[in-house]
């Protein structure tokens, strides 16, 4: 299943396996054990050359990928990542997580992921458009609305989806809902840009309620990242009365000096800077009176008092040392906006502290549960496209809320059902998410004869 050169995929695979084995799942449903080696190999992986012209007229070449991991629940669905670190291991881990996450949304969507080792930073709009065009030249042969529906992810936002969609339409002579995250006038859904961040906050609201910790009002929230997920998670937390004391990017972190956190206006400045592919630090003139900047740092060890942590940048952005620092800072809830935001060692620390009866207890929600709002609203965008209708902001937001509540309850109840420990105060959401997602996909594969 796992190739020796795939550390990130191995991490995602081991995490799933360990939680399934450390439960009563295979005692209660022994027939599902044989599914694991099958579900862990992608149905299909497409790897291709992307040749494009830069502004100087020089030819450039990158590696493009699409991992079509599992289609037992619906068309492959998952984002495209443009980042220099992209390789098959990273896309396999993301695609693998996507299968089970998509199952947790309750919608009819399979799992996939793709991207390229292309770095959008420092590129002009023209270069990005030519890259997207060249990327879609090959990808357009392998996707359509009933087969595989990509979207954005790190480095791929609304502008890139526009270029990719236009390229698909021209190559295939077909206007269809083949990508999500589209512009509102050409098939996009309201609330899709907000969905992952908002959904994350809706999920945490349920955690707070279950743990009798009140609401977001008055809470100190540490967020990492400053892209799509981080911006909207921060905005929703602020709207609900929380103080957001940190945001960061790949170059460093801003942390509030005093009691005042980020305002919606400051987040809108950040959105402009990020749209122009600039560093957060370019705002230092405006920020330095209120925030300290820590070059090369992540927020977790820099803040003395935290109630809720929302990692929303990238994989493995919370280490064991960060996990310990969060617990020391009094953090009660950590929920991932990013995919695989925590290392295995960090998860182990959180899971141990979950059952602590002292003040140092913390409740951890993995990305595949807490950030499923993004792909869920993508699923709603697909549903609107196939009916050729558009739902209102309120309708989509309400459906998103319901999906996040159902996802939380599914994780919680599944954890209670399959845990080998009875009457836990805070049931393991990582176990619940993995088991609930796995059962749904595995049973669909068995029903459909994916085995014989
Ligand atoms: P964006 O590209 O909009 O933002 C990414 C943010 O993370 C930026 O602040 C970026 O900094 C930072 N970042 C990226 N790579 C690194 C790195 N290696 N080290 C430190 N910081 C880094 O992406 P999104 O907000 O869409 O995605 C953030 C996370 O959320 C990812 O893990 C993604 O897979 C996940 N996710 C996204 C969903 C969505 O709907 N967009 C849905 C579910 C999960 P810089 O600007 O300096 O590069
Ligand atoms: O909409 C999507 O398919 C999508 C885009 C980016 C990330 C994710 C995710 O769930 O990680 C989904």
Residues near 54 by beta carbon (within 8 Å), at least 6 away in sequence: 60, 127, 130
Question: Given this model, what pLDDT does residue 451 score?
Answer: 80
**Each residue of 203-223: pLDDT tens digit?**
999 999 999 999 999 999 999
Instruction: Give the pLDDT band (50/70/90) at residue 452.
Output: low
Do 262 and 308 lie in a common domain? Answer: yes
Mutate to test the pocket of ligand 2, among 94, 152, 158 (most ligand atoms within 8 A of CB): 152
Closest listed ligand to the CA of 199: 1
SS3 content of the chain, % helix, strand, coil (to 5): 50, 15, 35
Which residue matches tokens 């992986």? 45
Query: 272: left (phi > 0), else alpha (psi -120 to 50), else beta?
Result: alpha
In a domain, 418, yes or no: no
Answer yes or no: are the C-beta atoms of 165 and 130 closer than 8 Å: no
Q: What is the DSSP annotation of 192-216?
A: HHHHHHHHHHHHHHHHHHHTT---S
CA distance readout (Å), 95 to 78, 80, 433: 7, 10, 16
271-284 pLDDT, tens digit each = 999 999 999 999 99
Tokens representing 199 are: 């959904």
- The answer on 199 and 109 residing in a single domain is no
Q: What is the mean pLDDT of the segment spanning 287-308?
A: 98
**pLDDT tens profile 380-405:** 999 999 999 999 999 999 999 999 99
pLDDT mean over 28-57: 97
Mean pLDDT of the chain: 97
Residue 424, pLDDT score: 93
Q: From CA 57, how far away is CA 222, in angstroms rounded?
A: 44
Q: Where does ligand 2 bind, in terms of residues with CB under 6 Å? A: 77-79, 98, 101, 151-153, 180, 339, 374-375, 378
Does residue 24 sit within a domain? no
Which secondary-structure segment (H or E) carries 287? helix 284-287
Distance from Cα 339 to the centre of ligand 2, integer Å: 10
- pTM of this structure: 0.98
What distance in Å separates the CA atoms of residue 400 and residue 374, rounded to the nearest whole number?
A: 9
- For residue 447, the number of C-alpha atoms closer than 13 Å in the C-beta half-sphere is 9
Question: How does pLDDT run across 171-192, given as a tens digit for each residue?
Answer: 999 999 999 999 999 999 999 9
Residue 358's pLDDT is 77
The CATH code of the domain that includes 449 is: 3.40.50.10860
CA 78–ligand 2 middle distance (angstroms):
5
Q: What are the structure tokens assigned to 271, written together?
A: 């959105």
Q: Which residues are catalytically annotated?
A: 113
Q: Give the range of the structural domain holding residue 290, as residue numbers without chain letter.
A: 195-365
Q: Which of 318, 343, 365 is the last residue of a domain?
A: 365
| Nearest ligand (C-alpha, residue 246) | 1
The total number of residues written for the chain in this structure = 452
Collapsed DSSP state (helix, strand, coil) of residue 211: coil
Q: Which atom of ligand 2 is nearest to the CA of 377?
A: 1
Same domain, yes or no: 358 and 244: yes
Average pLDDT score over residue span 126-136: 98
Q: Are residues 105 and 222 in the same domain?
A: no
Percent of the chain scoring above 70 in pLDDT: 99
| Distance (Å) from CA 338 to ligand 1 centroid | 7
Q: Quick one: tokens of 288?
A: 């330095």
Average pLDDT of the segment spanning 414-437: 96
CA-wise closest residue to 199 among 333, 369, 412: 369
> What is the number of domains present in the chain?
2
Q: Using CA positions, which residue lies closest to atom 5 of ligand 1?
A: 227
Which one of 121, 156, 200, 225 would you pick to mutate in the ligand 1 pocket, going by the greatest count of ligand atoms within 8 A of its CB?
Answer: 225
pLDDT > 90? residue 37: yes
Same domain, 309 and 451: no
pLDDT value of position 380: 98
Question: How much distance in Å is there from the Cα of 290 to the middle of ligand 2?
Answer: 33
Position 356 scores a pLDDT of 86
What tokens does 254 get?
């801003």
Asked if pLDDT for residue 82 goes beyond 70, the answer is: yes
CA pseudo-torsion sign 435, 440, 445, 447: positive
Domain assignment present for residue 5? The answer is: yes
Looking at all shown ligands, the one closest to residue 296's CA atom is 1
Residue 135 sits in the same domain as residue 232: no
Q: Pocket around ligand 1: residues whose beta carbon is below 6 Å from it?
A: 152-155, 196, 225-230, 249-251, 274, 312-314, 337-339, 371, 374
* pLDDT, position 3: 67
For residue 249, report the distance from its CA to the centre of ligand 1, in Å. 9
Verify that 133 and 238 share a domain, yes or no.
no
């Amino acid at each position: 299943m796992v190739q020796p050169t795939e550390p990130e995929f191995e991490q995602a695979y081991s995490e799933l396996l360990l939680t399934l084995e450390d439960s009563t799942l295979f005692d209660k449903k022994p027939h599902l054990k044989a599914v694991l080696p099958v579900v862990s190999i992608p149905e299909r992986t497409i790897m291709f050359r992307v040749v494009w012209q830069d502004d100087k007229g020089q030819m450039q070449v990158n590696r493009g990928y699409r991992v079509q991991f599992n289609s037992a629940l619906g068309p492959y669905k998952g984002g495209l990542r443009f980042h220099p670190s992209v390789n098959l291991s990273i896309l396999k881990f993301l695609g693998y997580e996507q299968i089970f996450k998509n199952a947790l949304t309750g919608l009819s969507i399979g799992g996939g992921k793709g991207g390229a080792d292309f770095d959008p930073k420092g590129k002009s709009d023209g270069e990005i458009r030519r890259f997207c065009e060249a990327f879609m030249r090959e990808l357009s042969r392998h996707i359509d609305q009933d087969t595989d529906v990509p979207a954005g992810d790190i480095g791929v936002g609304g502008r890139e989806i526009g270029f990719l969609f236009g390229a698909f339409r021209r190559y295939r002579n077909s206007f269809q809902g083949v990508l999500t995250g589209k512009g509102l006038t050409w098939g996009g859904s309201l609330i899709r840009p907000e969905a992952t961040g908002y959904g994350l906050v809706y999920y945490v609201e349920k955690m707070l309620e279950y743990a009798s910790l009140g609401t977001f009002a008055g809470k100190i929230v540490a967020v990492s990242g400053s892209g799509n997920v981080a911006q909207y998670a921060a905005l929703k937390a602020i709207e609900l009365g929380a103080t957001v004391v940190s945001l960061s990017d790949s170059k460093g972190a801003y942390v509030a000096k005093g009691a005042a956190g980020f305002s919606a206006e400051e987040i809108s400045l950040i959105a402009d800077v990020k749209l122009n592919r600039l560093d957060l630090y370019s705002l230092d003139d405006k920020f330095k009176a209120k925030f300290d900047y820590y070059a090369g740092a992540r927020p977790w060890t820099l803040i003395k008092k935290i109630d809720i942590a929302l990692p929303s940048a990238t994989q493995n952005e919370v280490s064991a040392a960060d996990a310990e620092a969060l617990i020391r800072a009094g953090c009660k809830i950590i929920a991932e906006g990013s995919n695989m935001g925590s290392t295995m060692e960090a998860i182990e620390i959180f899971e141990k502290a979950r059952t602590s009866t002292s003040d140092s207890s913390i409740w951890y929600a993995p990305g595949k549960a807490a950030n499923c709002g993004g792909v869920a609203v993508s699923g709603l965008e697909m549903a609107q496209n196939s009916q050729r209708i558009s739902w209102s902001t309120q309708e989509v937001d309400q459906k998103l809320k319901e999906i996040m509540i159902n996802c939380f309850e599914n994780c919680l109840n599944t954890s209670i059902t399959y845990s080998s420990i009875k009457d836990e105060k805070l049931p393991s959401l990582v176990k619940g998410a993995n088991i609930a997602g796995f059962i749904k996909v595995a049973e669909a594969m068995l029903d459909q004869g994916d085995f014989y």
